[in-house]
Structure formats: C-alpha cells, structure tokens
C-alpha cells in the first residue's frame, strides 16, 4: 500500500506547464529519488508535496490523508534544503529545538528529543556551537536533525548535498541513508547527480520536461533504459548504427544479435540505434559468444581504480573502461585493437 500518492499532479506558471500529469506512489519506509536536469520539474513536485507550491490540478495523499489543500505547517512533513537555512543567532541545540518549541512541547521532552537527534547525527559534542563555527557538512547534519526532530510522517530532501565538496558529499549521503533506514521514515530525495540517486535509492524517478520518463530500481534504470533520454542521461553510452534483422534481432558488427526490445513496426533492414556501456567492452574475449569490434586507440586516461580509453570505431570515438588491476596493460595510442562485448549487453534504443 502506498504511503505517499500523487494522482495526476500538474503545475502551471502562467502559460508554462512545468509538471505534466505526474502519477506516482511511494511505499512506507521507501527511499525514492527524483533525478533529472535543471528545469525538469523535480523540485516543483517536491515543493507541491511539502505544501510550498499549490498544485494546479491533481491530488496529493500522505498516509491515506488528502493534503492537497492543507498548508505546509499542517502536513507533518520534514524538509531539508540545499542552503542549510539554519538560524545564525541560535546554537545547534536551539536550531534543532526550534520546531519543537513552536509546537508547544514540554521543555523536558524538547531536551530529550534534541539529545536523541544530536546523537543520531553524531554531533552531540557540538550542541553549543553556532552555525558559523561548523563546516558545511556539519551544518547540513544539523538541518537534517531539525527536520527529523518533530517526528514527521515524510522527509523531503531538496539537493541537500550539492553545496558540499566531493568527499564530504559521499560521506553525508551514506549517513542520510543509514539514518533513514534506522528511523524507517519515508523519504523523497531530489538530485541532478546520477551517482547520488543510484547509490542510495530504493527506486529512482528520472524526470524529463515535467514528466516521469522512467521509474525503477537503480539497476533497472541503468541497465534497461526505456527512453533515449534516460539512456543518455544516466551513465555514459556508446551509440552505433545497426539494422533490423527481424523482430527479435539486429544486424551489427557482422552478426545477427538478439535484442531485449521488440522491433515490431519496423521493416526488415530498417536502421536502428544500438548502444554499449563503456564497462561492457573488454580487451579479451570472455566467452565463445562474445563479438569483436575493431578500432584505433585515440587516448588513454588513468583514473585510479579505472583506466579509460577512447577508441575510434566506425569513424567515431568510443569510450572503454577497465578496472585498474596489477599488470593491466592498455594498448598504446595509435594502435589498432579489438574490443569484445556480449550480445546481451547490447541496448537497442527506442526511436
């Protein structure tokens, strides 16, 4: 049963519709990310759930209650923003306690609740500091504790990590996921960073031009993109021209290869676009069914755990990734090499 349900949500500003008939459900305790480029409508959807924007049409239900017309302060929803939005004249303890005092909770309960929240974010030793005395990552932890202190039904996170540097961002996203699991709170996370979305989500909603282009688990989104936008936006793809052999096969690299996507509706021999992820390619044949494509090495980059090369195939650059292992040798620039792939890794992109 869904805990958060969006039914045909639409949002129009003047003559521009930025969210178009959005339908989606989130289960109790689920962690869902809205992923997409700037302007795709993901933050607008989040703000409508929170009550900061009014839906032009459609319904929003939380835990079975229709909250579409409820003001934000009546929805029992916690929200964490990109800008930490802490009160600079209040200590960490006072910031976390603010919502509890506004709600009129007894002083003893406020004290206990603040202690619990500071322990949860591992900042109980910094309760008397002011925001300006803390790092960005610490301030965002305080903002998270403040949002969770009133025990909301739903937690919303609007790009909370984008202002942090890379190392802190990775650590804090893991902490957010750990805390979310510990509390079992239903959470919606907005980001434009695909690594963030794929690494911590139960499901991902890839948004494009105000619509949910695809909804699925991180593995489904990455391995089986259903639209050209999702295929190009999530991860990196090498694309090639191929032709339809029959409804279940394409002609590519001199072979007749099976497809995961039916090709009915196209005539035999019709052009189709196929794609391979960089990590699907290998320098050696791994099975009897592997297929080679040949090309000339254009460039090689050492990226720590990964070695990345660009190889010119059929007149276009193709990216190829391999793990950096002891003794790993990449062909030198200018040399011709075979890149091997399995037919099961070949994606047929929808027209």
- pLDDT for the residue 257: 87
SS3 category, 280: helix
Q: Where are the domains of the chain?
A: 2-232, 236-348
- pLDDT for the residue 190: 96
Kindly report the CATH number that applies to the domain delimited by 2-232. 3.40.50.300
The CATH class that applies to domain 236-348 reads mainly beta
Rounded distance between C-alpha atoms, residue 104 and residue 100, angstroms: 6
Using CA atoms, how far residue 306 sits from 2, 65, 237, 279, in Å, is 40, 49, 17, 10
137 burial level (CB within 10 Å; 0-12, 13-18, 19+) = middle
Residue 273: half-sphere exposure toward Cβ, Cα within 13 Å:
10
Residue 120: half-sphere exposure toward Cβ, Cα within 13 Å:
24
- pLDDT for the residue 189: 97
Query: Which residues of the chain fall below pLDDT 70?
Result: 1, 351
326-330 long-range contacts, CB within 8 A, separation 24+: 330/283, 330/297, 330/300
Rounded distance between C-alpha atoms, residue 36 and residue 213, angstroms: 10
Phi, psi values for residue 109, rounded to 5°: -65, -40
- pLDDT for the residue 77: 95
- pLDDT for the residue 139: 94
Question: 337 and 294 in contact (C-beta within 8 Å)?
Answer: yes
- pLDDT for the residue 351: 67
Task: State how beta strands 291-302 and 336-341 pair.
Answer: antiparallel
- The DSSP result for 112-152, as a single string, is HHHHHHHHHTT-GGGTT--GGGS-HHHHHHHHHHHHHTT--
Rounded distance between C-alpha atoms, residue 114 and residue 123, angstroms: 11
């Amino acid at each position: 049963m869904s805990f958060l349900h969006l039914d045909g949500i639409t949002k129009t500003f003047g003559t521009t519709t930025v969210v178009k008939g959005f339908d989606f459900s989130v289960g109790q305790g689920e962690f869902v990310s809205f992923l997409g480029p700037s302007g795709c409508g993901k933050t607008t959807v989040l703000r409508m759930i929170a009550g900061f924007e009014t839906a032009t049409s459609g319904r929003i239900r939380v835990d079975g209650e229709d909250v579409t017309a409820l003001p934000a302060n009546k929805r029992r929803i916690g929200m964490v923003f990109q800008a930490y939005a802490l009160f600079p004249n209040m200590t960490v303890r006072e910031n976390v306690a603010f919502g509890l005092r506004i709600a009129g909770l007894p002083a003893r309960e406020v004290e206990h609740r603040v202690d619990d929240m500071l322990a949860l974010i591992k900042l109980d030793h910094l309760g008397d500091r002011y925001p300006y005395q803390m790092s960005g990552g610490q301030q965002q932890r305080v903002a998270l504790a403040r949002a969770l202190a009133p025990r909301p039904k739903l937690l919303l996170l609007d790009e909370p990590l984008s202002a942090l540097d890379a190392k802190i961002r990775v650590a804090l996203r893991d902490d957010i996921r750990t805390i979310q699991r510990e509390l079992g709170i239903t959470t919606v996370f907005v980001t434009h960073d695909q690594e963030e979305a794929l690494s911590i989500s139960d499901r991902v909603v890839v948004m494009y031009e105000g619509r949910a282009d695809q909804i699925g688990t991180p593995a489904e989104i990455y391995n089986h993109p259903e639209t050209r936008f999702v295929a190009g936006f999530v991860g990196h793809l090498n694309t090639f021209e191929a032709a339809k052999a029959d409804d279940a096969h394409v002609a590519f690299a001199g072979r007749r290869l099976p497809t995961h996507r039916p090709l009915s509706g196209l005539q035999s021999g019709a052009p189709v676009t196929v794609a391979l992820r960089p990590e699907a390619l290998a320098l050696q044949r791994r099975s009897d069914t592997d297929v080679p494509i040949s090309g000339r090495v254009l460039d090689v980059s050492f990226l720590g755990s990964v070695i990345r090369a660009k190889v010119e195939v059929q007149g276009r650059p193709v990216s190829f990734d391999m793990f950096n292992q002891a003794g790993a040798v990449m062909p030198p620039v200018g040399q011709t090499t075979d890149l091997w792939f399995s037919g099961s890794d070949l994606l047929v992109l929808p027209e």
